[in-house]
Amino acid sequence: MTHLIINRGTVITTAANGLGGGSITFNQLGRIIVRAVDGTTYDLAETMNFSAGAIGEFSVDNTGALASDFVINQNGVVNLGSGGVGATVRFNLADVASKLNLTGGVVLGGNSSISVEGGNLNSFVTISGIISDGGSGYSLAVNDDQGAWAVTNTFLRLTGLNTFSGNLALGEGTLQFSTVTNAGGAASSLGQGSAITMGTGTLSFIGGTSQSTDRPLTLTAAGTLSANGTSGATITYTGAVSTAGNSLNLTGTGEGFITGGVTQTGVAADINVNSGIWHLSTTTNTLSDDIIVTATSTGTAVMNLDTTGILAYTTGTSNGLYIRDGGVINLNAHDVNGAANSGGLDFILIGDTPTGAPGTLNTNTFNITVPRLDLGTLVAGRTGIVLGSGIITATYTGTDYGQGFRFFDGSISAGLAGVSTILKQGIGTVTISGNNSGLTGTVAATRLDSGTVILDFTSDNNNKISAVAALDLRGVLLILNGSAAADTSQTVASTTLGSSGATTITLNSGAGHSVTLNLGAITRAAGSQDGTLRVNLPDSGAVTTTSNNLGTTGVLGGWATVANATGTWFATNSAGTGLGNIVAVTTSAKNDVSTWLAGDQITDTVGGFTGTVSGVNINTLRFDAASGSTLNVAGGGVLNIASGGILMTSNVTAGASTITSGILSSTTSELIFIQDSTSQTLTVASAIRINHSVTKSGSGTLVLSGNNTYTDETEIQAGILQVSGGNAIGDTSLVTLSDDTPSMLQLLGNETIGRLTGGSASAGIDQLAVVDVGTFALTINQTGSTTYAGLLTGSGSVIKTGAGNMLFTNASSGFTGSVTINMGLLYFSGIGSSSASSFTLNSGSSFLIDNNGTTTVGTRVLDAAGIIMNSANGSWSGETIVSGLSIRRNQASTLNETVGVVTAASGANYARLEATVAGATAAIIADNIVRQNGATLDARGTNMSATTGARAQLRIGTAANQTSFIASMIGGGSTTLGTKNISIVPWAIAEDILDVGVADTNMGNSLATYVSGQGFRALNLTTEYTTYSAAAATENVRQSLSADLTPVWKNPQRARHPQRRDSERHQCHGQRRRPDAHQHQRRIPVHAPHGCCGQHRLQHHTRRL
């Protein structure tokens, strides 16, 4: 028998008896590697001694194909340290087909460390022998990397009844255990200590018998408790869990309980439930941020809140419950966050992530109070479910819909109560089926924007939305499914259509019973971007209103239609005035237009309209003939629709319909086209004159082709509006697209409109609003400032005129045409961007790359998009600062924009470059910068000369182009900063502004040079100029004069007769040149006169004498 003593170095063996059979001693630093192939098992009887303070490693290395395990059973005792000084050991599994079992026990001779590297969940180190310390109170640290190996620690399994009496510390990796006892209790896998400390590691219960411990847990980092008991075994932590400012992660395949309470500090520590079934009960948990339950499929991560008042939060934080990707939170007691939310819960967000199954909140029969409950989000596929019959009381009293009940996608059967209101947004479907008669708030209306809302009375026949709040309809499909047990009725205080949108209400009565919706008074104004309403009537029941019919039109308005078993019609109040049912108006089927009478409700029948209208005032007009109709209006005639309503039903399937010639008008000054046929178009070639607005509703296509001069709004609430002829929309008409219903403006020819607005850049509804330019030119008369959040598509051109700001906030990669700015500001902000091929900035215009704010992108324009400046000198609406080509940044980070060639094509051009907080950098990086036609450039920016800190730049990014540009500068030839003969860009001036943005007074105060990698900058007024009297040849001269300068010419004859060529003429921002071979190379900045190149501000310029 041979004893092995290792002082330093490595011993490698490939045999079972290769270690000698005697004891093995690690004295200082040493390593043993045992190698064998698949299916090999070595039983080692050697005692393994790690001397006091020693650091040793024992490695198992399967050199085979890794098809089966190489196993070592260490049957001898492992002694770690002696005399009160422990030792450090690392067990290394070199692959995923190696295992090490320590069956002979481990004796701690002092506080010791065991770490494990390598392996995986199926390849690990097991200590089944007893870990003991002779009652000395020695502690055991697991995976703490005490030996400074700087590797990732992995899996250690403890299955014996260990008797070491010191505390346990887990650094990283996973420590699996089968049993645990209370502090100082009987032997267990985790010994008999009194406390457990954890770092980032995972403490995983794997036993087959339920366990409980009152040992306190202290987390020094974000650690994990994992419940993986077998045969239904659970793990319960009755001791206090203290995490400081660290998150606590809960995982597993089994069930775990925390009854001793979790205490967190700070404002950012979460409890993350990623798998397993977990309970918080008995003791109040003081949390500093959120509980986040994230599953991989429905029910694989569950949090049970078992006790009243179990949740409390530190102050000043945003504290919530997140339920994601199939995660579940069960309420198993009333008021788990304290009575009246005394614990400080701020929100419950269910299904707010884009993948996986819906998140679920199960109220069971218990109540909870919270300011905010979100169901899903705007993005498709993010769905939330609320189950049970408990009551959720919302306490938010604001009117901004930022809190309260916010529904996007999902279902809720629990009861709703409180002063808060309901908001529905997004294209998803929300089903509300609980008893919500406890909703009492009247400050804000129940607001239903878009998508589908189902009020399901089939299992509970009480109110689903507030009966005392107003109802705000903005383009939703609202469905009421009545009860089969009794008549159903839902009442609201009043109804408004005042915020646009094409709303549909559908009533489905229960078998043998009626369903009724009482809308109260309906508010809707003409020409004010208000909505339209379609009511699909039930077999039994009604929709009622107290709104009177519109004047003498006999209908509620051209905005209201109903559908019943006989078709789709304009809607009327059955009582005329006061309370009545909304029903179909009685129409006159008159194909022969010569028979039309004033006040008729006209519809066509089979065969369509015949004849020509020369002048008549009817109340409504309906197209219903399947083959379509052509309605001829005499050239000088006027067809007046008193209500403004023109309806084309979905029955029109075999041919298009047209209104030709003449003038089309409305007594209300609003023409409302409701086009329901998705297979046929309705074309309006008649002229629509001033003081009118056009509203397009319905999913079909409306074509405007007349010579229209109307001045009020054009609103596309749904479907497609096509325009042709060049005058289809009034040149000053504001065009609005829906923000949450598919809507499109499509050009069939060049078109001019007024301002453009609408659409949404919010994920989930950001593709719904589209302006399709096609191959044509869209001119936007931007007389005021608006934001367009929809998309642009096409390869034509967009031309902006007018002094108002035009903001684009969506990513329009489908627009590949050109952009021309003739006046005012056009800019991209938020996620706004375009794939336009070029941007032309003409006199009075400005183009801004706006990277202020937290939502920004660094690719607002294509890297190859050219920017052409022709006297780009415009200001932004609300300012007088000359801006031109601009970029700005107010965040402490770098965000540059790469563009194609920037061309100063003509006139005096300006650049405004701003980085206005510490650490902000912003640059327009061009492929090249080119000057044409004697153009000039005035570049003003924040700290343009700086190389660190906040700075803004205009520079060339292509190395070869930058080299050529620098070579083209004139002057002394120096490129060294701080020299008086540094070369300049002769057609540019600049101004360096310290730490702030550009002001009105910053109009350029120095000659400009160009620095490689830095771009344009102003010459330093102190170090890069000299005075005239002291100047040497080729130096830059800066002189302050109290009187006019009289130059002394070397050639008096030439001075008297300065016949200057074009190239010698004075240029704004340029230089005067004498072709005299003996000319001096001194430069004197002087003020240009008013009106130089159309400018009205004093500029610095250069003359050569």
Within 10 A of 220 (CB to CB), how many other CB atoms are there? 15
CA distance 414 to 388: 5
Least Cα distance to 630 among 593, 597, 668, 672 occurs for: 593
Least Cα distance to 878 among 739, 784, 1010 occurs for: 784
Q: Which residues contact 505 (CB under 8 A, 6 or more apart)?
A: 478, 479, 480, 517, 533, 534, 535, 536, 543
Cβ proximity of 707 and 465 under 8 Å: no
Concatenate the DSSP letters of all residues of 817-836 into one string: SEEEE-SEEEEE-TT-EE--
Cβ proximity of 416 and 391 under 8 Å: yes
List Cα–Cα distances, 975 to 220, 666, 911, 963, 981, in angstroms: 55, 71, 23, 12, 9
CA distance 1061 to 1084: 21
Which residues is 390 bridged to in the sheet? none
Q: What is the pLDDT of residue 1051?
A: 44
CA distance 1067 to 1079: 19
What is the CA 880 to chain-centroid distance, rounded?
33
Q: Which residues contact 635 (CB under 8 A, 6 or more apart)?
A: 661, 662
CA distance 495 to 1090: 60
CA dihedral (1093, 1096, 1099, 1101) in degrees, to 10, reads 30
Here the tokens at position 132 are 């003991």
CA distance 46 to 975: 77
Quick one: pLDDT band at residue 1045, thresholds 50, 70, 90? low
Q: Where are the alpha helices (DSSP H) in 689-771?
A: none
Which is more confident, 1041 or 631?
A: 631
Task: Express each pLDDT in 1003-1023 by its tens digit.
Answer: 999 999 999 999 999 999 999
CA angle 994, 998, 1003 (to 5 degrees): 100
Quick one: pLDDT band at residue 931, thresholds 50, 70, 90? very high
CA distance 1004 to 557: 59
Task: Express each pLDDT in 951-985 by its tens digit.
Answer: 999 999 999 999 999 999 999 888 888 999 999 99
CA distance 889 to 954: 14
Cβ proximity of 83 and 54 under 8 Å: no
Q: What is the pLDDT of residue 145?
A: 85
DSSP letter at 985?
Answer: -
CA distance 93 to 963: 57
311: left (phi over 0), alpha (psi -120 to 50) or beta: beta
Mean pLDDT confidence for 531-557: 97
Which residues is 545 bridged to in the sheet? 580
CA angle 955, 960, 964 (to 5 degrees): 75
CA distance 648 to 885: 48
Quick one: pLDDT band at residue 1099, thresholds 50, 70, 90? very low
DSSP letter at 594?
Answer: G
Task: Express each pLDDT in 429-452 by its tens digit.
Answer: 999 999 999 999 999 999 999 999
Task: Express each pLDDT in 719-747 by its tens digit.
Answer: 999 999 999 999 999 999 999 999 999 99
Count Cβ atoms within 10 A of the Cβ of residue 413 and give its class: 0-12 exposed, 13-18 middle, 19 or more buried.
Answer: buried
Q: Which amino acid is at 942?
A: T
Task: Express each pLDDT in 217-272 by its tens digit.
Answer: 999 999 999 999 999 999 999 999 999 999 999 999 999 999 999 999 999 999 99
Concatenate the DSSP letters of all residues of 179-190 into one string: ---STT-S-BTT
Least Cα distance to 914 among 858, 852, 860, 863 occurs for: 852
Q: Using the predicted structure, report yes or no on whether residue 1042 has a pLDDT greater than 80.
A: no
Cβ proximity of 407 and 426 under 8 Å: no
Helix (H) or strand (E) holding 1054: helix 1052-1056
Cβ proximity of 336 and 344 under 8 Å: no
Cβ proximity of 212 and 236 under 8 Å: yes
Here the tokens at position 1066 are 């004075």
Quick one: pLDDT band at residue 1, thresholds 50, 70, 90? low
Least confident interval from 133-142, 172-181, 526-535, 719-728: 526-535
CA distance 1030 to 254: 88
Least Cα distance to 620 among 634, 650, 600 occurs for: 600
Q: What is the pLDDT of residue 356?
A: 80
CA distance 272 to 244: 15
Here the tokens at position 800 are 């902006």
Quick one: pLDDT band at residue 1047, thresholds 50, 70, 90? low
Task: Express each pLDDT in 667-718 by its tens digit.
Answer: 999 999 999 999 999 999 999 999 999 999 999 999 999 999 999 999 999 9
What is the CA 623 to chain-centroid distance, rounded?
43
Q: Using the predicted structure, report yes or no on whether residue 595 has a pLDDT greater than 70.
A: yes
Here the tokens at position 107 are 């004796």
Mean pLDDT confidence for 6-11: 94
Q: Using the predicted structure, report yes or no on whether residue 401 has a pLDDT greater than 80.
A: yes
Q: If you search the block for the tokens 């609300």, which residue do you land on?
A: 878
Here the tokens at position 310 are 């179990």
Cβ proximity of 774 and 750 under 8 Å: no
Within 10 A of 578 (CB to CB), how many other CB atoms are there? 10
Task: Express each pLDDT in 165-219 by its tens digit.
Answer: 999 999 999 999 999 999 999 999 999 999 999 999 999 999 999 999 999 999 9
What is the CA 586 to chain-centroid distance, rounded?
49
The dihedral of CA 1086, 1090, 1094, 1095: what is its sign? positive
CA distance 578 to 863: 63
Cβ proximity of 127 and 157 under 8 Å: yes
Within 10 A of 232 (CB to CB), how many other CB atoms are there? 10
Q: In the chain, pLDDT over 70 holds for what percent of residues?
A: 94
Give the gyration radius of the chain's Cα atoms.
40
CA distance 640 to 663: 8
Cβ proximity of 464 and 433 under 8 Å: yes
Q: What is the pLDDT of residue 157?
A: 98
What strands lie across the sheet with 951-956, from one edge to the other? 751-753, 777-781, 797-801, 818-821, 838-841, 866-870, 897-906, 921-931, 951-956
φ, ψ for residue 1045 (rounded to 5)? -85, 130
Residues in the chain: 1105
Cβ proximity of 470 and 495 under 8 Å: yes
Q: In the chain, pLDDT over 90 holds for what percent of residues?
A: 88
What strands lie across the sheet with 415-418, from one edge to the other? 368-370, 391-394, 415-418, 438-439
Q: Which residues contact 240 (CB under 8 A, 6 or more apart)?
A: 216, 217, 260, 261, 263, 283
Here the tokens at position 1080 are 């001096």
Q: Is 62 helix (H, G, I), strand (E, B) or coil?
A: strand
Per DSSP (E only), the strands in 714-768 are 714-716, 719-723, 735-737, 743-747, 751-753, 756-758
Quick one: pLDDT band at residue 1092, thresholds 50, 70, 90? very low
Least Cα distance to 248 among 215, 224, 213, 278 occurs for: 224
Within 10 A of 1033 (CB to CB), how many other CB atoms are there? 9
Give the pairing of strands 223-227 and 248-252.
Answer: parallel
Q: How far apart are the first and last CA of the chain?
A: 105
User: What value does the mean pLDDT of the chain take?
Assistant: 93
Q: What is the pLDDT of residue 1085?
A: 37
**b/e burial code for range 668-679 (CB count within 10 A of at least 16 → b):** bbbbbbbbbbee
pTM of the complete model beyond 0.85? yes
Cβ proximity of 344 and 372 under 8 Å: no
